[in-house]
């Protein structure tokens, strides 16, 4: 039975990486599912309060980094507040329209159109769209790094 629980843990860890590509999947929560399955089904004594506290802090960092990266780059590249919101919504909508490429294409196009509708120049709209693209990539990269750190930390704790 323990093998089945381990398979579930590993599947949840892999599923958390899917959350990087498909924003509708809450990557940190899926990862926590793996931690909780291990804790409650395999060994409830190995994961200490320090581990849980660190994972909670890293989870908050993952969520905040994703939001801040998108806003930061759209704003840095001259996008409007509306462009920031459209970029965030576009990532979610794009993950359904043309996965996995929709999460890159839909926000970029949506920000471009939004900025043009706000009477921005063509060049300003292109710049804001580039910001949306870079924001998504940097948020995804940060999420990948932090999720990988969390999984490595988990295995270090249970092996040592």
Confidence category of residue 80, pLDDT binned at 50, 70, 90: confident
Q: Percent of the chain beyond pLDDT 70?
A: 99
Split into its structural domains, the chain has a count of 1
Domain boundaries, position 116? 2-159
Burial of 113 (0-12, 13-18, 19+ CB in 10 A): middle
Q: In terms of DSSP H, where are the helices of the chain?
A: 2-21, 27-37, 49-76, 81-97, 102-117, 122-159
Q: Are 107 and 160 in contact (CB under 8 A)?
A: no
* pLDDT over 80 (residue 122): yes
Q: What is the pTM of this model?
A: 0.83
């Amino acid at each position: 039975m323990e093998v089945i629980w381990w398979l579930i843990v590993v599947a949840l860890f892999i599923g958390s990486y899917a959350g990087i590509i498909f924003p509708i999947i809450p990557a940190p929560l899926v990862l926590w599912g793996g931690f909780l399955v291990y804790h409650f089904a395999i060994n409830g004594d190995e994961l200490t309060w320090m581990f849980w506290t660190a994972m909670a802090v890293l989870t908050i960092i993952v969520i905040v980094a994703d939001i801040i990266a998108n806003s930061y780059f759209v704003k840095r590249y001259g996008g409007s507040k509306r462009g920031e919101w459209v970029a965030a919504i576009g990532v979610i909508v794009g993950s359904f329209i043309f996965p996995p490429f929709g999460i890159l294409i839909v926000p970029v196009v949506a920000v471009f159109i939004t900025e043009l509708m706000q009477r921005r120049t063509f060049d300003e709209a292109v710049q804001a769209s580039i910001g949306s693209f870079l924001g998504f990539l940097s948020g995804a990269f940060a999420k990948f790094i932090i999720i990988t750190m969390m999984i490595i930390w988990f295995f270090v704790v249970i092996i040592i």
